Amino acid sequence: MAEAPYLQIAADLRRRITAGELRPGDRVPSTRALVREWGVAMATAAKALAALGEQGWVRAVPGSGTVVADRAPAKPPLGRDALVRAAIALADAEGLAALSMRRLAAELGVGPMALYRHVPDKDELLRLMADVALGEAELPEPGPEPWRRRLELAARAQWRAYRAHPWLAPILLNSLVRPPVLAAGLRLVDWSLRALAGTGLKRRVKLQVIMTLNGWVGGLAASNAFEVQAEQDTGITGDQRLEADLALLGEHLASGRFPVLAEVMTGVENVDLDEAFEFGLHRQLDGIAALLARH
């Protein structure tokens, strides 16, 4: 997907600033100049300058227009890997809602503009975070030969990544059929597809098998992500929320309106999320086995 025009303009101006073509105190091109140079609408040019201002690259000076902001004395260079790792640590501890470029810069002890030398925007930062987090999945080479064992390992590797980083599922699952392109994701799919080599399945069906299995794992992880985020936002744990709802649940079950559910739940303790994963994983694999038996 092509980058938005205002982001392209902002990136070009950042390049000119970091290259020394525009120095602290120099006027940057006005919105009218950017309209002429880039052939964009006035609103687009204004949005580009506003984005640079939010990032700390420029500042508005009454009577002088927009100028390059003064920069702090040089500090040791900040590497992209350190930036991404710090973002992951912050998201793990407090959730994606707490992650902003300004907050991350504060955690790293640098100005916000320092981050944009490594990532163009927050969306790209999230992509890099997801790539690193999913890349932690251990996929042995050459890996087991039986298809079932290989797909089981792939599912468990994803589950561990999702459990370690609850914020990961919403990023990877913004679309099941058109997920974000990540090297770690492509590696996982390629490794999983090798399990179906020689099965006789058509290429499209192979992709559907892997997409269905990964989608099921991700869907369960997304439920966990919502619960973790709610706990981070409110300070109320899932167990505390359930405890508060027990009386209402008891009333519904005792009403006689849900007789089968009431009978099944009698004496049954809460289902643990990892227990649900174990049960569902084997049913998924059983379904794939049934499909392969027909080929």
Dist. CA 177–CA 160, nearest whole Å: 22
- In sequence order, the 6+-apart residues with CB closer than 8 A to the CB of 134 are 158, 161, 168, 172, 182, 184, 185, 188
Q: What token pair was written down for 159?
A: 């589950």
Q: Which amino acid is at 95?
A: G
DSSP symbol at 178: S
CATH code of the domain in which 288 resides: 1.10.357.10
92: how many CB neighbours lie within 10 A of its CB?
16
**Does 20 share its domain with 152?**
no
Which residue in this structure is represented by tokens 């369960």? 220
Domain extent, residue 44, equals 5-68
Among 288, 294, 291, 293, which Cα is nearest to 149's? 288
Q: Can you give the pTM of this predicted structure?
A: 0.69
Dist. CA 42–CA 31, nearest whole Å: 6
**Does 166 share its domain with 216?**
yes
Among 67, 9, 10, which Cα is nearest to 40's? 9
Cβ-in-10-Å burial (0-12, 13-18, 19+) of 73 comes to exposed
Q: Which amino acid is at 175?
A: S
Cis peptide before 142 (omega within 30 of 0): yes
* 144-189 pLDDT per residue, tens: 889 999 999 999 999 999 999 999 998 888 765 677 889 999 999 9
Local confidence pLDDT in tens for the 295 residues of the chain: 456 788 889 889 988 888 888 888 899 999 999 999 999 998 899 888 988 887 788 888 887 789 998 864 445 567 889 999 999 999 998 888 889 998 898 888 788 888 888 999 999 999 999 999 999 888 988 888 899 999 999 999 999 999 999 999 988 887 656 778 899 999 999 999 999 998 999 999 999 999 999 999 999 999 888 888 888 778 787 778 778 887 888 888 889 999 998 888 887 777 788 999 999 999 999 999 999 998 7
Helices 122-135, 183-193: inter-axial angle, 10-degree rounding: 40
**Does 218 share its domain with 275?**
yes
Cβ contact 53:60 at 8 Å: yes
**Does 45 share its domain with 86?**
no
**Does 94 share its domain with 174?**
no
Give SS3 for 163: helix
Q: Which amino acid is at 257?
A: R
Cis peptide before 140 (omega within 30 of 0): no
Dist. CA 194–CA 146, nearest whole Å: 10
Cβ contact 5:45 at 8 Å: no
The answer to whether residue 115 is domain-embedded is yes
The answer to whether residue 125 is domain-embedded is no
**Does 173 share its domain with 115?**
no
Domain count, the chain: 3
**Does 283 share its domain with 156?**
yes
**Does 189 share its domain with 261?**
yes
The answer to whether residue 73 is domain-embedded is no
